Amino acid sequence: MSAQSAGTLDKLMGQTRAGTESPFAEAIPSSEKSVPIAEHAKGLFQRTRERAVELEGEFEGYVREHPVKSVLLAAAVGAGVGLLVGVLLGRRT
């Protein structure tokens, strides 16, 4: 650890021990700052929902184009998961 970083750490620890406000207190959002965060979250949720609908359409199109391949793949995944669960449950006893 360099002398500069050690000095900074000592300074922060001293402030915390002395009961003074931490320099990290600014990172906690106030009620005014939380409004844009909520708006950002709503926008992110909306974009995620739109992307999920797009992926659903792509998936449905793939299944319609390759029905046999899709069924075999689903069966293989189901068998693999079943085997994994069976092995894990067999270890418990």
Please write the tens of the pLDDT for every residue from 20-54. 555 555 555 555 556 688 888 899 999 999 999 99
CA distances from 33 to 17, 22, 45, 46 (A): 28, 19, 19, 21
> What's the confidence (pLDDT) of residue 15?
52
pLDDT at 61 over 90: yes
Q: Which position has the higher pLDDT, 10 or 17? A: 10
* pLDDT number for residue 47: 95
pTM for the complete prediction?
0.44
Q: What is the pLDDT of residue 40?
A: 87
Q: Are 45 and 38 in contact (CB under 8 A)?
A: no
